[in-house]
Amino acid sequence: MTAALSIDNLRVTYQGAHGPHVAVQDFSWAVEAGQIACLLGPSGCGKTTVLRTIAGFEPLSTGSIRLGDVVLSSPQIHLPPERRRVGMMFQEYALFPHLTAAQNVAFGLRRLAAADITTRVAEMLTLVGLPDAGRRYPHELSGGQQQRVALARAMAPSPALLLLDEPFSNLDSATRERLSVEVRDILHRAGQTAVLVTHNQAEAHTMADVIRVL
């Protein structure tokens, strides 16, 4: 197996009120293609910072992040988020409230022809089990449905890597258990390489092929 994602000696700092604060120190990791990898750790340990640095929202101080052969981030290089081929499912889902579920899923597909967009949106909504929810707005969907639409949207542009930031933290425990199994199956069926961040051990063990404790 080839390493899809390689992180070498990652260090992330930011300017706090009392000087520079180190959020992540000397972190190295490799995730293989098609794997669901999990970063497990308590709140405040820096796992979301790692995810946001992979996505390109935070600059790193030292080290490097590669996706296949492409350097995403290093002290000299910072590829903008839209050119990384990295999708992300946010903790709060981040569904655009002014767009329907189908329009949300179609958001990242604008380079495709109109007919291809329609096909891909239907395919993704079917994949997440919501083939008839396309016309509904986010506020008309339940928490679990919003989560599935967010997953469909993140996967629709076929990203090389999918990041999932505490994807089940806003759900009740029964829904969380059911959805974590469903999401794992969807990701495996699509052969999607994914990095999951969570503080929940049970969720990590249900979802992940490999776990890294931070």
Partner 1 sequence: MPPRLHAVGGIWRLATLVIALGVLMPVGSLAWMALDGDFAHWAHLAQHVLPQAALDTALLLAGVGAVVLVMGTGCAWLVTAYSFPGRGVLHWALLLPLAMPTYIVAFAYLDLLHPIGPVQGAVRWMLGFDSPRQFRLPDLRSMGGAIFVLGFVLYPYVYLAARAMFMTQPAHLLEAARTLGESRWGAFRRVALPMARPALAVGLSLALLETLNDIGASEFLGVNTLTVAIYTTWITRSDLAGAAQIACTMMLFVIALVALERHGRRHRQFGSVQRMRAVAPHRLRGIKAWGATAAATAPVVLGFGAPAAYLLSETLKRFHQGYVPSAGLWSSLGNTVSLALGVTCFAVASGLIVAWACRRIGSRPNTYHWQARMASLGYAIPGTVLAIGMLTPALFIDAQLADSLGLPGLPLMGAGAVLAGACVIRFLAMPIGGIEAGLARIPAPLEQAARLLGETATGTLRRVHLPLLRPAITVGALLVFVDTMKELPATLLLRPANFDTLATWLYAEAARGTYEEGAIAALLIVLAGLLPVVVLARTQLGSATAEAANPLENLS
**Positions in the binding site for partner 1 (CB under 8 A):** 14, 16-17, 21, 23, 41, 43-49, 52, 55-58, 80-82, 84, 86-88, 90-92, 94, 96-98, 107-108, 110-111, 139, 153-154, 157, 159
Least Cβ distance, residue 97 to partner 1 (angstroms): 5
Q: Where are the alpha helices (DSSP H) in the chain?
A: 47-55, 101-106, 114-127, 143-155, 173-190, 201-207
Count of beta carbons in the 10 Å neighbourhood of residue 150: 25
Of 63 and 159, CB closest to partner 1: 159
CA 55, CA 43: separation in Å to the nearest integer? 19
Count of beta carbons in the 10 Å neighbourhood of residue 15: 8
Least Cβ distance, residue 48 to partner 1 (angstroms): 4
Which whole-number Å values give the CA distances from 137 to 102, 105, 197, 205, in the listed order?
A: 9, 12, 27, 33
Of 150 and 186, CB closest to partner 1: 150
Of 68 and 177, CB closest to partner 1: 68
Least Cβ distance, residue 180 to partner 1 (angstroms): 20
CA 150, CA 94: separation in Å to the nearest integer? 7
Strand arrangement, sheet containing 36-40: 86-89, 161-165, 194-198, 36-40, 210-213
Of 36 and 55, CB closest to partner 1: 55
Least Cβ distance, residue 108 to partner 1 (angstroms): 3
Of 64 and 198, CB closest to partner 1: 198
Least Cβ distance, residue 27 to partner 1 (angstroms): 13
